[in-house]
Structure 1
Amino acid sequence: MIPLSDDNPTSSRPYVTLIILFSCLFIFLIQISLSDVNDRAFIYALGFIPAVTFGYANLPSELIWIPSSLTILSSMFLHGGFFHVASNMLYLWIFADNIEDKIGHKNFFIFYLLCGIVAAMAQALPETTSRIPMIGASGAVSGILGAYLFLYPKAKILVVIPFFIFYTLRLPAFIVLGMWFFGQLFNSMQTNEGEGGVAFRAHVGGFVAGLLLIRFFIKARQKKNKEYYTK
């Protein structure tokens, strides 16, 4: 089941969403322009490596481009292949504009980064000695999906279902995103993520973070609006 669009209009332009989307695409273009050796160095220098961040390993000096504590942020803008970046940007494009519209541009950016950080930690904490770089916007995007489910569970999502032939239908968000979440949860319990591959645990962590954090951001936005209108 692949989402194509939603029927949830917004009242403002999603500037931050667009900046994130184009930044990820631009960096991916840089990645594919590099040789395999240089792309690997790019990923190790800017990806989030638990063992390095938690002090169990060190990178060669030529790969220390930024402090290891910042790689949890830089890793959100790197991707491992076309399908990786395409799927993340598709979900970002469909669902993020409504969240940005709801909580405001600055708050949305903070929310996005927080979800990404929680997602990365959900993946890393059980395996703090892992030397496998974590990259991708998946964790942060998962947080957006959690927030969308909380805010707009009945919004209609146009999806395409590839089953011998492609056909489309509109389903409520709670079905589309609920199925997505339980799929990630199931895979997180089945996959040996210490060997690399898809970070399903990060997806689950990001989703739950978004589901919980969005409440605080909404209250903060409402409080700000109330103060503005009472002045």
Structure 2
Amino acid sequence: MFIPLHDGVPLRFMRAPYVTYALIGLCVGLYLLMTLRQDSDGQIAIAAGFGFIPSVFFGAAQLPPEILQAPSWATLFSNILLHASLAHLAGNMLFLWVFGDNVEDAMGHGRFLVFFFLCGLGGSLAHALMNPASDQPLIGASGAISGVIAAYLMLYPRVRIWGLAFNWIPLHITALYAIAAWILFQLVQGLIDPQGHVGWWAHLGGLGTGAALTPLFIHRGVALFGRTVRR
């Protein structure tokens, strides 16, 4: 497992990645509201009502009417902004902090926001297709952030990233190797444990969506596969 810490790639087209900052702030704010103002039963109810539950989405199950809930189609997106634990939140926000700014820079604020939620949508649908009968709510920005990771890999494969291997070994490694290892880990886990507590197929669905959409969303002056990067 690899945790990114810093890449040092400068912004080219904008002063600051405001959408990345806003998404991080929104996810953190919702997590604080969810945990500080709700007891454990309330937190479970929020996760059930606004998380994405495949069996409810496909009409095979229904939530109790007393649970405040979003329409099933809306949970394809609302689940992206919720997180189950502090570790879940911190890990996702760290990946978004390191990779999101440069992807937003390559796409622009508006396109990046749309890209982020489309990748989350792709992750949610992939999870649903692999687990159509699941009654467990899927929450977290992992699918959307996986799409951002795919875009970063296509944009800056040769950049060297500072990070931690196995959560504690410091490394300064090329993005291609670090992210490729991360993708392989997701794929192996998805095949081994497709119905586990971690939404591995949401990660893989987000990755695939991000890879497919990146060429359509980047600025014309941005080339893929690191051709514009100067080191």
Question: Taking structure 2 as the reference length, what is the TM-score of the superposition?
Answer: 0.90
Q: CA deviation at 1:127?
A: 2.1
- CA–CA separation in structure 2 for the residues paired with 1:50 and 1:65: 14
Kept in 1, the 8 Å contact 2:82–2:141? The answer is: yes
Amino acid in the other structure paired with 1:77 = L
Match of 2:171 among 169, 172, 179: 169
- Pairing 1:114–2:146 present: no
Match of 1:32 among 5, 27, 35: 35
Across the aligned residues of Structure 1 and Structure 2, the Cα RMSD in angstroms comes to 1.5
Partner secondary structure for residue 160 of structure 1: strand
Partner secondary structure for residue 198 of structure 1: coil
Structure 1 stretch displaced more, 172-181 or 2-11 = 2-11
Counterpart mapping for 1:8-87 below 5 A: 8-11=9-12, 12=14, 13-33=16-36, 34-87=38-91
Amino acid in the other structure paired with 1:99 = V
Q: CA deviation at 1:217?
A: 1.0
Correspondence for 1:182: 184
Partner secondary structure for residue 204 of structure 1: helix
Q: 1:222 to 1:185 in 2, by over 3 A?
A: same
Q: How many residues align?
A: 217
Partner secondary structure for residue 60 of structure 1: coil
Match of 2:155 among 151, 161, 169: 151
Structure 1 stretch displaced more, 144-153 or 25-34 = 25-34
- CA–CA separation in structure 2 for the residues paired with 1:141 and 1:126: 19
Q: 1:62 to 1:178 in 2, by over 3 A?
A: same
- CA–CA separation in structure 1 for the residues paired with 2:166 and 2:70: 42
- Long gaps (5+) in structure 1: 224-231
Partner secondary structure for residue 100 of structure 2: helix
- Pairing 1:214–2:217 present: no
How many percent identity over aligned positions? 38
Q: CA deviation at 1:142?
A: 0.4
- CA–CA separation in structure 2 for the residues paired with 1:22 and 1:62: 30
Counterpart mapping for 1:194-209 below 5 A: 196-209=196-209
Residue by residue, what CA displacement relative to the aligned partner does 1:117-167 show, whole Å, maximum 9, x if unpaired?
Answer: 00111111122221110000000000000000111100110012358xx44
- CA–CA separation in structure 2 for the residues paired with 1:64 and 1:169: 45
- CA–CA separation in structure 1 for the residues paired with 2:188 and 2:133: 24
Correspondence for 2:8: 7
- CA–CA separation in structure 2 for the residues paired with 1:162 and 1:130: 30
Partner secondary structure for residue 9 of structure 1: coil
Counterpart mapping for 1:97-136 below 5 A: 97-136=101-140
- CA–CA separation in structure 2 for the residues paired with 1:14 and 1:5: 15
Amino acid in the other structure paired with 1:139 = G
Q: CA deviation at 1:64?
A: 4.2
- Long gaps (5+) in structure 2: 222-231
- CA–CA separation in structure 2 for the residues paired with 1:146 and 1:7: 18
- Pairing 1:92–2:93 present: no
Residue by residue, what CA displacement relative to the aligned partner does 1:67-115 show, whole Å, maximum 9, x if unpaired?
Answer: 1110111100111111100000000000000010001000000000000
Q: CA deviation at 1:28?
A: 0.7
- CA–CA separation in structure 2 for the residues paired with 1:122 and 1:32: 28
